[in-house]
């Protein structure tokens, strides 16, 4: 049995995934230093690594001496701008932070993945339903959907690839929006479940998809969004 790599392990979703999978052999990767709240046991390895640093990423992967049984890419960024204010450099930065870094990591590591392994990506419901001021991030996250489906076709039955598309949830990344209690409450009420998501809501599905219990699921996109992408209740 190989190790599960969780990239973005210091974020709300990544930390929740690590907690749910704490009985597995885990490799936790974050671009910031780890705090004391991360799971600690002899099966957990921690590495500080920024996937946008391709040289250090290559060095990290070259030193891997174990089989990889799963990778959870719990990373990304948020950018909310009108299209008229979103310049080509903004699009390039969003692709760097949400797509190219993931492609590079997979390109270097995929030959180290075990038979029956699984990869979980994170997109956004804005990639499948139009929202104002989301052109940049929706475009970058849409690229992940295409990548996931194509890789699922290329590598089945050896490796499974699936994507989770959340709506807005509480996290360090969204803190500039959700830290305002009234704003967060108002945005939560736009969802049929009348609240914003939490890391644990999303990690529950990610933990299932990375496990052998989901061995007949590949090439799928799952919306974890309190019903916002499909339901109109008001």
Summarize pLDDT for 186-200 with one digit per residue, the tens.
Answer: 999 998 999 999 999
d(CA 234, CA 211): 37
Residue 173: the pLDDT is 82
- Strand-pairing partners, residue 48, are 30
pTM of the model: 0.94
Structure tokens at 55: 């040289």
pLDDT at 36 over 90: no
Residue 14 lies in a domain: yes
Confidence of residue 176 (pLDDT cuts 50, 70, 90): confident
Residue 72: the pLDDT is 98
d(CA 36, CA 53): 25
Domain ranges, residue 21: 3-224
Residue 195 lies in a domain: yes
CATH at residue 87:
3.40.50.720
Confidence of residue 40 (pLDDT cuts 50, 70, 90): low
Confidence of residue 90 (pLDDT cuts 50, 70, 90): very high
Confidence of residue 11 (pLDDT cuts 50, 70, 90): very high
Residue 129 lies in a domain: yes
Confidence of residue 181 (pLDDT cuts 50, 70, 90): very high
d(CA 35, CA 163): 28
Residue 210 lies in a domain: yes
pLDDT at 168 over 70: yes
Residue 201: CA count within 13 A, CB half-sphere: 18
Residue 172: the pLDDT is 83
% of the chain at pLDDT higher than 90: 86
User: CA-based Rg of the chain, rounded to a whole angstrom?
Assistant: 17
pLDDT at 41 over 80: no
Residue 114 lies in a domain: yes
Average pLDDT, the chain: 94
Give the pLDDT mean for 15-24. Answer: 95
d(CA 194, CA 56): 42
Residue 234 lies in a domain: no
Residue 230 lies in a domain: no
Residue 124 lies in a domain: yes
Query: DSSP state, 110?
Result: G
Give the pLDDT mean for 126-134. Answer: 93
Quote the number of domains for the chain.
1
Least confident of 32-46, 49-63, 93-107: 32-46
Residue 38: the pLDDT is 62
At a CB cut-off of 8 Å and minimum separation 6, what does 84 contact? none
Confidence of residue 37 (pLDDT cuts 50, 70, 90): low
Least confident of 9-13, 100-104, 170-174: 170-174
């Amino acid at each position: 049995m190989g190790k599960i790599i969780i990239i973005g392990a210091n974020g709300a979703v990544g930390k929740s995934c690590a907690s749910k999978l704490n009985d597995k052999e885990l490799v936790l990767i974050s671009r910031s230093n780890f705090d004391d709240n991360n799971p600690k046991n002899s099966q957990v390895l921690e590495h500080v690594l920024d996937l946008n640093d391709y040289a250090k990423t290559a060095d990290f992967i070259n030193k891997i001496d174990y089989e990889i049984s799963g990778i959870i890419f719990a990373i990304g960024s948020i950018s909310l701008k009108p299209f008229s204010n979103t310049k080509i450099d903004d699009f390039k930065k969003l692709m760097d932070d949400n797509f190219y870094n993931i492609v590079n990591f997979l390109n270097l590591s995929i030959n180290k993945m075990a038979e029956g392994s699984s990869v979980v990506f994170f997109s956004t419901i804005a990639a499948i339903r139009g929202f104002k001021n989301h052109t940049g991030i929706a475009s970058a996250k849409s690229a992940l959907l295409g990548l996931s489906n194509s890789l699922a076709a290329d590598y089945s039955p050896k490796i499974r690839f699936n994507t989770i598309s959340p709506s807005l949830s509480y996290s360090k990344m969204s803190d500039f929006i959700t830290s305002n209690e009234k704003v967060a409450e108002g945005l939560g009420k736009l969802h049929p479940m009348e609240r914003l998501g939490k890391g644990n809501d999303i990690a529950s599905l990610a933990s299932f998809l990375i496990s052998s219990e989901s061995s007949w699921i590949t090439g799928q996109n799952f919306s974890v969004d309190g019903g916002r992408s499909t339901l109109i209740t008001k």
